[in-house]
């Protein structure tokens, strides 16, 4: 996915965070690239390193379409939830698939619906790559 890197910063006791913007929103997320990265466009892979618990940090979305925003102490990621036959969960985030770790099985009726995930800033990562 193509993002606009606004800046990279380090706060005491925290990992490197990047202020990123997309066509559907922006937030501060963990940065896995060069700490001296200059502002500009980067292709990135997204990772969510927090167990998903339906009703706690995963809920039906308010609205449709991908979304990214800061929600107080967390990042709110909106995407379409896909469940595989073997019970895995993927978030379709503007065409990018993000594998989710589930604490418990999700309700069957949430498959192929828009959901919002409320994830700690340092548990959402972007890792730049070159084509």
Is the predicted pLDDT of residue 131 greater than 80, yes or no? no
- Of 30, 64, 72, nearest to 47 (Cα)? 30
d(CA 50, CA 32): 16
Identify the helix (H) or strand (E) that includes residue 96. strand 96-100
Structure confidence at residue 86 (pLDDT): 81
pLDDT given at position 45: 96
Per-residue confidence at 130, pLDDT binned at 50, 70, 90?
A: confident
Distances (CA, A) of 33 to 3, 45, 68, 98, 113: 13, 11, 20, 18, 32
| Domain locations in the chain as residue ranges | 2-129
Q: With 90 as the cut, is the pLDDT of residue 56 above it?
A: yes
Interatomic CA distance for residues 124 and 3, integer angstroms? 14
Tokens of 47: 């990772």
């Amino acid at each position: 996915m193509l993002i606009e890197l606004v800046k990279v910063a380090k706060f005491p006791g925290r990992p490197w965070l990047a202020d990123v913007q997309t066509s559907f929103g922006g937030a501060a997320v963990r940065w896995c690239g060069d700490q001296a990265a200059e502002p500009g466009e980067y292709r990135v892979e997204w990772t969510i390193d927090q167990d998903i618990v339906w009703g706690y940090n995963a809920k039906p979305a308010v609205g449709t379409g991908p979304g990214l925003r800061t929600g107080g102490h967390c990042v709110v990621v909106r995407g379409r939830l896909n469940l595989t036959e073997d019970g895995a969960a993927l978030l379709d985030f503007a065409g990018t698939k993000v594998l989710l770790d589930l604490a418990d099985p999700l309700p069957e009726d949430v498959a192929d619906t828009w959901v919002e995930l409320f994830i700690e800033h340092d548990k959402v990562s972007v890792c730049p790559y070159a084509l």
